[in-house]
């Protein structure tokens, strides 16, 4: 996988809720909620990058699952994808974020309607809602 990809984690709890992280920066996105993750480094697979990024950002180890279908073009040559995951060790903390929140379908939908979700992450809302309603 090239360095032109950002991977985000759709982290689900055993009770089915989804973990969202509140951005601290940049200023135009600070306070908005997102799926945590980061850039895929040269030589990394999506799965490897997600495991590394979530360890760095949340201090957790995850088991990676199936990728969400939607992808987002951030800018020419830089795409963002999301992959489902479950925490296998650790308790998420706010190393790089203002706050963390576990949400169900109703909460996610309300946050989206209020414009509280990072715009780039909105492409995944239909799939995330479907997962949360299973």
Report the CATH number that the domain containing residue 112 is assigned in CATH.
3.90.79.10
Q: What is the mean pLDDT of each run of 10 residues along the chain (134 residues)?
A: 81 96 95 97 96 97 97 93 98 94 98 96 97 94
Amino acid 106: pLDDT? 98
Residues 6+ apart with CB under 8 A from 6: 37, 38, 39, 40, 74, 78, 79, 80, 81
Looking at the domain assignment, is residue 112 inside a domain? yes
Amino acid 31: pLDDT? 97
Number of domains in the chain: 1
Residues 6+ apart with CB under 8 A from 25: none
Amino acid 85: pLDDT? 98
Looking at the domain assignment, is residue 85 inside a domain? yes
The upper half-sphere exposure of residue 64, i.e. CA atoms within 13 Å in the direction of its Cβ, equals 19
Amino acid 95: pLDDT? 86
Looking at the domain assignment, is residue 116 inside a domain? yes
Amino acid 134: pLDDT? 87
């Amino acid at each position: 996988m090239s360095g032109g990809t950002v991977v985000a984690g759709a982290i689900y709890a055993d009770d089915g809720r989804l973990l969202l992280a509140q951005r601290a920066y940049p200023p135009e996105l600070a306070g908005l909620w997102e799926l945590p993750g980061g850039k895929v480094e040269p030589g990394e697979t999506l799965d490897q990058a997600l495991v590394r990024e979530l360890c760095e950002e949340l201090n957790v180890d995850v088991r990676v699952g199936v990728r969400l279908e939607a992808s987002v073009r951030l800018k020419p040559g830089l795409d963002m994808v999301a992959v489902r995951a479950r925490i296998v060790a650790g308790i998420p903390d706010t190393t790089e974020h203002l706050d963390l929140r576990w949400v169900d379908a109703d909460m996610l939908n309300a946050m989206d309607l209020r414009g509280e979700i990072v715009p780039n992450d909105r492409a995944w809302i239909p799939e995330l809602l479907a997962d949360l309603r299973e």
